[in-house]
Structure 1
């Protein structure tokens, strides 16, 4: 099991969007899809559809992260209701 570290930027975005650590970690452990970033080959995007209780509707959580040795560094999160724009299943 890898250790998970949150950047200060990710924690700020989580607070702004009312997304808990639990939601982020469970989405990271069971994503709908993982993509390699177009901007950096060592950066990944985990995407997960979930029900956002704060807004009472389905959202897409995008977790931008890097893996360095045995540490998963969460760079930022994106929480959006525009699911079809970001998720092509």
Structure 2
């Protein structure tokens, strides 16, 4: 698996209530590459008996958002999943 991800000039401006009232985040260049990836699950069991989630108050404000992707390449050479459940 070969993954190449490039982001150029992505300013992110977040304004809200908190210790940092104004925050600025910029990514000039980001590259991520995976040459070899293997994933195998022999046995998988997942059970949820009870789940509770509550949000009383949530505030989120974005004053300015700019996102530009100059180049995006995604290539999968080989992908194989072997699952053997007993």
TM-score bucket (shorter structure): under 0.3
Larger of the two Rg values belongs to structure: 2
- TM-score, length-normalised on structure 1? 0.23
Q: Which structure's residues are more often helix, by fraction?
A: 1
Bigger relative CO (Cα 8 Å, ≥ 6 apart): 2
Q: Which structure's residues are more often strand, by fraction?
A: 1
